[in-house]
Amino acid sequence: MSGKVIVITSGKGGVGKTTTCANIGTGLAIRGKKTVLIDADIGLRNLDVVMGLENRIVFDLIDVVEKNCKLRQALIKDRRFDNLYLLPAAQTKEKDAVKPEQMVELCEELKLDFDYILIDCPAGIEHGFKNAVAGADDAIIVTTPDVSAVRDADRIIGLLQTYEITDPKLVINRVRPDMVRRGDMMDVNDVNDILAITLLGVVPDDQSIIVSTNRGEPAVSDPSSRAGQAYRNIVARIEGEKVPFMSLDFDLGFFERIKRFLKK
Amino acid sequence: MDFINRFFKEDTASKNMAVERLRLVLVHDRASVSTGLMESLKEEMFQVISKYMEIDEKNMEVKLNAGERSTALIANIPVKKIKR
Ligand SMILES: Nc1ncnc2c1ncn2[C@@H]1O[C@H](COP(=O)(O)OP(=O)(O)OP(=O)(O)O)[C@@H](O)[C@H]1O
Ligand SMILES: [Mg+2]
């Protein structure tokens, strides 16, 4: 087997990389793909709590690269979803405790066993970013529809080229249809035109993300979550299916309808 | 139609400002990220212009200048001699 290594990155912090990594990973596992999530955010471990696996950590990424344990020992198997594993970040070590070459080696080893290796990248473009992208074959760039996040995403797209990742995929997160409708938030086309990379999906701003994070159960496994549906669509697209982009135009207001009618 | 658009404040929508500001700032970000872009532009400009006039390559200046509404490519190219 030769799996695919995908880094999930953004530049700007707090836009939803960890949430996206947890949901896509869980979604792939639900579809029967053997998937491992690597938390590369050393010192700011988070993917474990989002996945609800924080109580099961024994070894971490640094233990693996320093060979304090076998790779197999550090992988936490998710009991709810077959095929799903987590390699947690170290919480206490220094950020530069891992080198890019070690990440490449780790990814190569995991490729032999897994269909998908997803790497949750830390914010920024320093050491942690370089480690996270070193072994990646492809990238998913997460942004929110605001000026600073899109600007940082653009910077990341440029930097990824130097790592020979030339076709990164875009996820636009936390879109608020009400604000888009009022003209107070950039819409999918605006962001997509500016960044000009392949659009992988659009995730609405949704309270169910917060609820599911509280519980440690990714929203993708909740059939009633809208964000979960968006992530299921993203997973299907990663798997090569053609899924139409979700319309975020539910409950159009009265004036909006008149305006659209007149515009035709 | 115009009046309806105005009624709905299309032009002042804050997202339009976001798009416009982003486009401007990215012109710069991209030019500096792709190191060498300005250098190779300058080099090629030098070659083209040299066909028509003798210019001072050392003091030739090519840069991007961001205004409030647009970005301009500014070139300052001292001419030594016009070729005939
Ligand atoms: N679609 C969404 N709807 C509502 N809340 C969201 C959504 N996506 C993310 N969030 C919330 O935003 C916060 C930041 O998300 P997350 O931790 O995934 O971002 P990050 O990019 O990994 O941050 P960091 O850069 O710190 O690693 C979290 O509280 C998360 O629950
Ligand atoms: Mg994170």
Which residues have CB less than 5 Å away from ligand 2 (the ion)? A 17-18, 46
- What is the domain extent for residue B24? 2-82
Q: Is A244 on the interface with B (CB under 8 A)?
A: no
Q: How many CA atoms lie within 13 A of A119 on its CB side?
A: 32
Which residue in the set A147, A255, A262 is minimally distant from B18, CB to CB?
A147
pLDDT tens for residues A130-165? 999 999 999 999 999 999 999 999 999 999 999 999
Q: Is A158 on the interface with B (CB under 8 A)?
A: yes
**A200: Cβ contacts below 8 Å, ≥ 6 apart:** A140, A169, A170, A171, A234, A237, A238
pLDDT beyond 80 at A199 = yes
Query: What pLDDT score was predicted for residue A165?
Result: 96
- What is the domain extent for residue A110? 4-263
Look up the CATH number of the domain holding residue A58: 3.40.50.300
User: Which residues, judged by CB distance below 6 Å to any ligand atom, belong to the binding site of ligand 1?
Assistant: A 10, 13-19, 41, 46, 123, 173-174, 203, 205-206, 209-210, 213, 227
Query: What pLDDT score was predicted for residue A92?
Result: 80
Q: What's the complex ipTM?
A: 0.81
For chain B, what is the domain count?
Answer: 1
Q: Which of A19-28, A197-206, B50-59 is predicted with the least confidence, judged by mean pLDDT?
A: B50-59
Question: With bands split at pLDDT 50, 70 and 90, how would you rate the model's confidence at A250?
Answer: very low
pLDDT, averaged across chain B: 81
The average pLDDT across A15-38 equals 98
Question: With bands split at pLDDT 50, 70 and 90, how would you rate the model's confidence at A45?
Answer: very high
pLDDT tens for residues B33-63? 665 777 888 899 999 999 999 999 999 988 8
d(CA A165, CA A153): 14
Q: What is the DSSP string of chain A?
A: ---EEEEEE-SSTTSSHHHHHHHHHHHHHHTT--EEEEE--TTS--HHHHTT-GGG--S-HHHHHTTSS-HHHHPEEPSSSTTEEEEPPPSSS-GGGS-HHHHHHHHHHHHTT-SEEEEEPPSSSSHHHHHHHHT-SEEEEEE-SSHHHHHHHHHHHHHHHTTT----EEEEEEE-HHHHHHT-S--HHHHHHHH-SEEEEEEE--HHHHHHHHHT--GGG-TT-HHHHHHHHHHHHHTT---PPPP--TT--HHHHHHHHHH-
pTM listed for this prediction: 0.85
For chain A, what is the domain count?
Answer: 1
Q: Residue B4 is encoded by which pair of tokens?
A: 């309806």
Q: Residue B68 is encoded by which pair of tokens?
A: 């409030």
pLDDT beyond 80 at B70 = no
Q: Which of A140-144, A173-177, B79-83 is predicted with the least confidence, judged by mean pLDDT?
A: B79-83
Q: Is A260 on the interface with B (CB under 8 A)?
A: no
The average pLDDT across A36-52 equals 96
Pocket test for ligand 1, best of A19, A24, A125 (most atoms within 8 A of CB): A19
User: Who wins on pLDDT, A250 or A218?
Assistant: A218
Question: With bands split at pLDDT 50, 70 and 90, how would you rate the model's confidence at A251?
Answer: very low
